[in-house]
Amino acid sequence: MSRTTRSNALRFGVLSVSIGLVLLMAGCATPPPPPNLGALKNDITEYYKNGRYEKDCARVTREARRTLSAWEGKKKTAIVLDVDDTAISTLPYLQTTDFGYIPSLWMPWAEQADAPAIPGTLELAKQAAEQQTAIFFITSRQEAWRACTEQNLRNAGYPNWTSLIMKQAGDRRNTEKYKTAEREKIIDMGYTIVLNLGDQESDLAGGYAEYTFKLPNPCYWLP
């Protein structure tokens, strides 16, 4: 074997071993364990406490208000707002349950109708009212909760809205399907939905709005 052939064979051997090692390591690599729940809860509590949540919401709603301003004077415009953690905050409830959803505790809390407004969303709604833009709330809350939900929106300071759309008993559609279908009905009524604001991707997916704006929600996810 010539010196060149020997050297090439050596290089090939080293390369093969290296590739083998990489493949072996890739095969052995296991994903890291999920984050620690207690640590996550501490981080989320801090996110609310240090004002970052409020700032992040304000940044989104400022942009939404700017977008809405550009539509001033246009006919039959509308905005769509989700209710929980978009129009009003459920944080006071989540703090009592250590971030859990406990149906037997949720209902009595919702009936108190004193969830505070998310300030930027309230400003957006007031601006819509001033611009003669219709306000539609679309929520996954059940129709049975209408009275306390309307009372809460009034208590939080929301101006007159055109409609509060609630889920009917027995409606098994997921949030995205239900909300998309309801926005389509609003469009069929001749409105242009300038913007749709929600805290879940499922509030916003599916179209039927010129713009969508997403508020942060580190506490829960709804399909």
Residues that bind Mg ion (CB under 5 A): 82, 84-86, 199
Rounded to a whole number of angstroms, the minimum distance from the CB of residue 174 to Mg ion is 14
Residues 6+ apart with CB under 8 A from 181: 173
Q: H helices of 97-170, where? A: 103-111, 119-130, 146-155
The 8-class DSSP code of residue 71 comes to T
Q: Which is nearer to Mg ion, 116 or 192 (CB)?
A: 116
Rounded to a whole number of angstroms, the minimum distance from the CB of residue 200 to Mg ion is 5
Residues 6+ apart with CB under 8 A from 185: none
23 burial class (0-12, 13-18, 19+ CB within 10 angstroms)? exposed
Q: Which is nearer to Mg ion, 85 or 182 (CB)?
A: 85
Q: Which is nearer to Mg ion, 191 or 198 (CB)?
A: 198
Q: Which is nearer to Mg ion, 86 or 121 (CB)?
A: 86
Read off the amino acid at residue 51: G
Q: How many CA atoms lie within 13 A of 34 on its CB side?
A: 3
Cα separation, 223 vs 221, in Å, equals 7
Rounded to a whole number of angstroms, the minimum distance from the CB of residue 55 to Mg ion is 19
Rounded to a whole number of angstroms, the minimum distance from the CB of residue 135 to Mg ion is 16
Rounded to a whole number of angstroms, the minimum distance from the CB of residue 84 to Mg ion is 4
Q: Which is nearer to Mg ion, 61 or 71 (CB)?
A: 61
